[in-house]
Structure 1
Amino acid sequence: MADSMDLVQQRVEEELARNLANAKQHPTGASEFFCLSCDAVIPEARRRALPGVSVCVTCKEVSELKSAHYKGAAL
């Protein structure tokens, strides 16, 4: 009989497998050199870290804050 720790470990492994599968399915293309929202230069480090990136950090943060606001999340 499985105890609670076994069940937790199983759920963690399942979630990890799901996240890996989603990451593998995410289409990546060439990264943009300039932000599509504000035309700011996207640093090389960001382009290397996130293949297919199209917006700068600032625009991404604004987008995430707006998304959280519209979903009713408390910050």
Structure 2
Amino acid sequence: MASGWAPEGAVQDQIDASLEDAVAEARARMPQGDSLTHCEECDKPIPEARRQAVPGVRLCIQCQAEQEKEYRPSGGINRRGSKDSQLR
């Protein structure tokens, strides 16, 4: 595929880099360490089954759901810099 001045495989490199960034961001948001017995936000007990299923859990299901509603993933990085994407 002709790509102008870009080297062969540059588009795939951009896709791979975007995917690696998304995976790194998701891993950074995953809980780590020991699970808590009570929620950090509301202090309700966290069920044993949840603590075993999600190692490092810090929030009860309700608080986790609220936190995920508020989470807005970043718009990403425009690595290509095409004219179409610059006009948006």
Q: What secondary structure sits across from 2:71 in the alignment?
A: helix
Q: State TM-score, norm by structure 1.
A: 0.54
Match of 1:41 in 2: 45
Give matches, 1:40-59, under 5 Å: 40-59=44-63
The structure with more helix, counted as a fraction of residues: 1
- 2:81 equivalent to 1:66: no
Any unmatched runs of 5+ in structure 2? 1-23, 75-88
| Percent identity of paired positions between Structure 1 and Structure 2 | 43
The number of residues matched between the two structures is: 65
Tell me the alpha carbon deviations over residues 37-75 of structure 1, each in whole angstroms, 9 at most, x when there is no partner.
Answer: 00000000000001100000000000111124xx7xxxx
Change (3 A) 1:56 1:27: closer
Runs of 4+ with deviation above 2 angstroms: none
For the aligned residues, what is the CA RMSD?
A: 3.5
